[in-house]
Chain A
Amino acid sequence: EAGVAQSPRYKIIEKRQSVAFWCNPISGHATLYWYQQILGQGPKLLIQFQNNGVVDDSQLPKDRFSAERLKGVDSTLKIQPAKLEDSAVYLCASSFGGSTTDTQYFGPGTRLTVL
């Protein structure tokens, strides 16, 4: 079974530029998550989708971050404009459902460096 796919794996940009990350979840998984993992910290949930609807985006900095999952499958996370503090690993995860007992499977992440 294929896992969660993410691209690109690495990205270096200058501040104020824009960047986009792509995620393809495990086939059949209705729930998709984006996490931000700053160096030395645990992952922090940015946004959770159930199919193509948002169920939690309370920690997404909406002035610069946006995410979509138009067809309920793959998803894109965008940052515009980027700031230095956005340097982090962005992890995508998926689960079959969105309940507390559903296991989340993580992709390898995209490491973003903002100069």
Chain B
Amino acid sequence: AQSVTQPDIHITVSEGASLELRCNYSYGATPYLFWYVQSPGQGLQLLLKYFSGDTLVQGIKGFEAEFKRSQSSFNLRKPSVHWSDAAEYFCAVRRRTGTASKLTFGTGTRLQVTL
């Protein structure tokens, strides 16, 4: 069975500081990995995705993530956080199950940005 773990429920950083959100996955085959962001009252927006190739993936809004197979991790990073980045961040893994393609989410990390 596949699972996604986001160990940090809540993180607070100062505006301008760097950010790293952790994500660990459990899946036997090559995973398809995603990071989504959810602002209050909004749906989920895709930040970036990893399917294969270069293990450092660039996304929107200045975010990047690095896939590390040896550590089963896909951590999200941003060098300088803006106040508008305050939101909930979800890591997700996707695999095919028969004719379906299931996306499994972690429990999320809520990011608070102080000015």
Contact = CB atoms under 8 A, between A and B. Distances in A.
B54 to A, nearest CB: 16
B43 A98 contact: no
Among A55, A93, A100, A108, residue most surrounded by chain B Cβ atoms (within 10 Å): A100
Given A41-B107, A42-B92, A48-B100, A108 B43 contact: yes
Interface residues of B, number: 28
If over half of A's interface residues share one DSSP class (helix, strand or loop), that class is named, otherwise mixed; here it is: loop
A50 B99 contact: yes
If over half of B's interface residues share one DSSP class (helix, strand or loop), that class is named, otherwise mixed; here it is: strand
Contact of B102 (A40, A56, A93): A56
B71 interface: no
A41 B95 CA distance: 20
A100 B99 CA distance: 11
Interface of A: 3-4, 33, 40-45, 48, 50, 55-56, 91, 93, 98-109
Interface of B: 4, 32, 36, 41-46, 49, 51, 90, 92, 94-108
27 contacts: A40-B107, A42-B4, A42-B105, A43-B105, A44-B105, A45-B103, A48-B100, A48-B101, A55-B100, A56-B98, A56-B99, A93-B43, A93-B44, A98-B99, A99-B96, A99-B101, A100-B51, A100-B94, A100-B96, A101-B32, A101-B51, A102-B101, A104-B46, A104-B103, A106-B44, A106-B45, A108-B43
